[in-house]
Structure 1
């Protein structure tokens, strides 16, 4: 039985237990303001070295400044999580909040958890009074196609600070007003 709940400081370390296994066959890049799909194979097993430790530090800081963290547990095991930072991101005349983290464990995929968590993140943003979510998406086709399917749009001009952190990511946003949320 799956249980959803807010994540707290003690749960931060559990985020590294999410199984990110994925075989990537295609990725996107942005050329002349448009998405271009190209073949690129990656056999992702676990977290890249040092990433889960860096994420833990960043997500703890996010929590301490009032960010929103939500998780899905299968028993005691965290199988999916989403994080929305509370720092404002001003872009394209919109006030946005960054979707800082959204992962679903390999064994828990295909159950709609990603869509559910993204919808909850959008609801959180609406309640916070912002215009949308800023999404810095890994360039894999599955990831970008997921966000596009959730109503995300390309940013014409990514936030300079967030772009510097993830220059290979596809920088998107999910507007709230256009979707009637």
Structure 2
């Protein structure tokens, strides 16, 4: 694969996420044990979209319709390899946060820099809206959390209660948009 094209997804293209393989093997995940967060073996293979395909399709369409950012990564044959979405709704008391709602790479193309590129393009879009930080509810898989920390995310200073309560195992993270080059 020589060139990957990154561009905004149209509403008509949203259903193309079904071209992707969302499965993930999770060897270890972060869990609360005796009041302390630690890595535990779970040996779980998720073969489908977390929360189901319809959930992710609905969220993607909503992001596009609401003027958020929905960026896709396509190969030379115009196959969708990954996508990232940022909701345009601001929240937070101390900072203007926007939610990085989705970031998925098809199984066969993970660990090739596509996720990082999608993340940074999403961050640039959010910075253009004058947001201060991206807010991320990162799944608790060891690799997922390591990815976000490696690109500069840290635990969120402000916690959005509804997001935390939807899955308390998730890491509530933030990424300061001041780190994004114009």
User: TM-score when scaled to structure 1?
Assistant: 0.88
**What are the equivalent positions in structure 2 for 1:95-110 lying under 5 Å apart?**
95-110=96-111
What is the CA–CA distance in structure 2 between the aligned matches of 1:168 and 1:121, rounded to whole Å?
A: 24
Question: Which residue is equivalent to 1:27?
Answer: 29
Name whichever structure is richer in strand by fraction.
Answer: 1
**What are the equivalent positions in structure 2 for 1:97-136 lying under 5 Å apart?**
97-136=98-137
| Structure 1 residue ranges, 4+ long, deviating more than 4 angstroms after superposition | 30-35
Q: Compare 93-102 and 162-171 and name the one that shifted more.
A: 162-171
What is the CA–CA distance in structure 1 between the aligned matches of 2:58 and 2:135, rounded to whole Å?
A: 20
What is the CA–CA distance in structure 2 between the aligned matches of 1:139 and 1:63, rounded to whole Å?
A: 27
What is the DSSP-based 3-state SS (H/G/I as helix, E as strand, rest coil) of the residue aligned with 2:88? strand
What is the CA–CA distance in structure 1 between the aligned matches of 2:36 and 2:156, rounded to whole Å?
A: 10
Question: Which residue is equivalent to 1:6?
Answer: 8
What is the DSSP-based 3-state SS (H/G/I as helix, E as strand, rest coil) of the residue aligned with 1:94? coil
Question: Which residue is equivalent to 2:79?
Answer: 77
Question: Which residue is equivalent to 1:160?
Answer: 161
CA contact (8 A) 1:33 1:156 kept: no
What is the DSSP-based 3-state SS (H/G/I as helix, E as strand, rest coil) of the residue aligned with 2:165? helix
| 1:125 to 1:137, Cα distance in 2 relative to 1, 3 A | same
Q: CA deviation at 1:43?
A: 1.2
CA contact (8 A) 2:66 2:88 kept: yes
Q: CA deviation at 1:162?
A: 1.4
What is the DSSP-based 3-state SS (H/G/I as helix, E as strand, rest coil) of the residue aligned with 1:89? coil
| 1:31 to 1:151, Cα distance in 2 relative to 1, 3 A | farther
What is the DSSP-based 3-state SS (H/G/I as helix, E as strand, rest coil) of the residue aligned with 2:48? coil
CA contact (8 A) 1:89 1:134 kept: no
Q: CA deviation at 1:35?
A: 4.2
CA contact (8 A) 2:123 2:180 kept: no
What is the CA–CA distance in structure 2 between the aligned matches of 1:42 and 1:113, rounded to whole Å?
A: 24
Two-structure CA RMSD over aligned residues (Å): 2.1
Count the aligned residue pairs: 178
What is the CA–CA distance in structure 2 between the aligned matches of 1:117 and 1:33, rounded to whole Å?
A: 34
Q: CA deviation at 1:180?
A: 6.3
Which structure 1 segments of 5+ residues have no match?
Answer: none
CA contact (8 A) 1:137 1:169 kept: yes
User: TM-score when scaled to structure 2?
Assistant: 0.88
What is the CA–CA distance in structure 1 between the aligned matches of 2:33 and 2:157, rounded to whole Å?
A: 11
Q: CA deviation at 1:34?
A: 6.6
What is the CA–CA distance in structure 1 between the aligned matches of 2:120 and 2:168, rounded to whole Å?
A: 26
